[in-house]
Amino acid sequence: MPQRTMVEALNHSLDESMGRDDSVCIMGEDVGINGGVFRVTKGLHEKYGDRRVMDTPLAECGIIGTAVGMAIHGLKPVTEIQFSGFSMQAFDQIEQNMARMRNRTQGRFPISMVMRAPFGGGIRAVEHHSESREAYWAHTPGLKVVIPSGPRNARALLNASIEDPDPVIFYEPKAVYRAFREDVPDEYETLPLGKANIVRPGSDLTVISYGAMMRVCNEAVDDLVDIHGVDVELIDLLSISPMDTATLAESVSRTGRCVIVHEGHQSCGIAAEIIARLNEHAFEYLCAPIRRVTCPDLPFPYFQTEKHFLPDADDVIAAVQETLAWE
């Protein structure tokens, strides 16, 4: 199987999706001849031309708003927002039309479209380039929110998102874009939206994470298992909304302890929602407070300090140990 980076895997997904379905098209800033600033759309303009790979003016609200119209007209736009921080410019169109059009029209106009955006920290970028605001979208009825963690699931989830009849926010952890390669088969592959992945089964404690933080968690879990002898269960959420509550609740009902790790801000973040659900579905099994390992409620800092701001493996290990020690 070919080894691909996440960027290459995403590019492969776009290519195969466009090949399968003429209604799939790409819209965004610099996605054409330039292939996107991260090169995710590289070569697609050359292959599919101006009609299907559209460079847009520099206006994100315009990208999403016109894509909604194209989706109403039966196309499947895969839009790129250059950095997720700039999706704020499109918030109105996302919330008022993209997320709601199906409901507003009682099913007449489903919006089958994808908003791709690189998100998260770790690449030494200036301000507004490192946000993790997936909680905004998870709080917005009508959207789905998908976040892959590696090349193979990125490709399979993007395929599934493009096929999905509903609007999908597809956040790509840019710190993973070129971080490693993985086997990604040539044959078309999808993963169901709404399903979490138990990366490592375990019995002592459940760690739940997603996106680039999965790398941090993997590192922490390796240490916890190998050095500290803790049998951690590690879950990769993959889909933030819908969320695979059943898998999470089943896991924590077994382990009784849980640590949640993400880059997004703490207050009203994804971890809060997971805690609320575990409180509802696994309350009687909880042996310790569920801990949140997240970025603080601060704007993402200037990049000289970002490595301290972002959770690292030591933070996860400490949280796991404290949770285990709790009585």
Partner 1 sequence: MDTTPIDLGSIDVLQVLDEHANVDASRDPNYERGQLVKMHRGLVLTRSFDQRMLTMQRQGEMGTFAPNLGQEACQLGQVIPLTADDWYSPSYRSFGAQLWRGWSIERLYKLWAGYHEGFPPPPDVNDLPFSIVIGSHVLPAVGIAMGMNYRSEPNCVVVNFGDGASSQGAVAEALNYAAVNTAPVVFVCENNGWAISTPLSKQSATNNLAVRGAGFGIPSIRVDGNDILAMTMAVDEAARRARAGEGPTFIEAVTFRMSLHTTADDPTVYREQELVDPWEARCPIVRFEHYLQRNGHLSQTEIARVHEECDAEVIAARDRFRADAVARPREIFDHIYGELPPELEAQKQAYLDRLDQKGVE
Ligand X SMILES: Cc1ncc(C[n+]2csc(CCOP(=O)(O)OP(=O)(O)O)c2C)c(N)n1
The site for partner 1, by CB under 8 A, has a size of 82
State in Å, rounded, how far the first CA of the chain is from the last one.
48
Confirm if 249 and 277 have CB atoms less than 8 A apart. yes
Please report whether residue 66 would count as binding partner 1 according to CB under 8 A: yes
Read off the DSSP letter of residue 285.
G
Residue showing the smallest CB distance to ligand X in the complex: 86
- The only residue of 72, 123, 272, 318 in contact with a copy of itself, by rule CB under 8 A: 272
Nearer to a copy of itself by C-beta: 1 or 59?
59
Residues, the chain: 327
Binding partner of residue 136 among a copy of itself, ligand X, partner 1, none, CB cut-off 5 to 8 Å per kind: a copy of itself
Q: Which of 12, 129, 262, 265 is catalytic?
A: 129
The count of other CB atoms within 10 Å of the CB of residue 50 is 10
Quickly list H helices, 86-240.
91-93, 101-104, 134-138, 151-163, 213-226
Enter the tokens of residue 223.
């240490």
Segment 145 to 184, residues that bind partner 1, using CB under 8 A: 164-166
Please report whether residue 190 would count as binding a copy of itself according to CB under 8 A: no
Please report whether residue 93 would count as binding partner 1 according to CB under 8 A: yes
Binding stretches for ligand X (CB under 6 A)? 29, 58, 60, 82, 86, 89
DSSP, collapsed to helix, strand or coil, labels residue 322 as helix
CA distances from 242 to 38, 110, 245 (A): 28, 17, 9
Q: Is 73 a catalytic residue?
A: no
Nearer to partner 1 by C-beta: 180 or 302?
302
Enter the tokens of residue 71.
């989706």
| Site of interaction with a copy of itself (CB under 8 A) | 85, 88-89, 91-92, 95-96, 99-100, 103-104, 127-128, 133, 135-136, 138-142, 241, 243, 264-265, 267-273, 275-276, 279-280, 283, 286, 288-292, 296-299
